[in-house]
């Protein structure tokens, strides 16, 4: 669940019926997972190198 979709800041009326309770909307595309993982590993390695 992506929290930014469910954030309530008072700018508009909070209507819980409008929120999705289906996990398919937030499900990642299985083809994108390896590429995203590689990006995150590179970012982690760069952060470790800075220490």
Average pLDDT over residues 2-27: 65
Q: CA gyration radius for the chain? A: 17
Model pLDDT, residue 7: 64
pLDDT in tens, 16-48: 776 666 666 666 778 888 999 999 999 999 999
Please, are residues 14 and 38 in contact by the beta-carbon 8 Å criterion? no
Q: Reply yes or no on whether the pLDDT at 2 is more than 60.
A: no
Q: Residue 26 and residue 4: Cα distance in Å, rounded?
A: 12
Q: What is the largest CA-CA distance in the chain?
A: 47
Confidence band of 49 (pLDDT split at 50, 70, 90): very high
Q: Residue 4 and residue 49: Cα distance in Å, rounded?
A: 31
Model pLDDT, residue 51: 81
Please, are residues 35 and 11 in contact by the beta-carbon 8 Å criterion? no
């Amino acid at each position: 669940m992506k929290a930014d979709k469910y954030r309530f800041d008072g700018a508009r009326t909070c209507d819980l019926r409008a929120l999705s309770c289906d996990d398919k909307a937030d499900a990642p595309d299985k083809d994108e997972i390896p590429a995203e993982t590689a990006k995150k590993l590179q970012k982690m390695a760069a952060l470790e190198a800075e220490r």
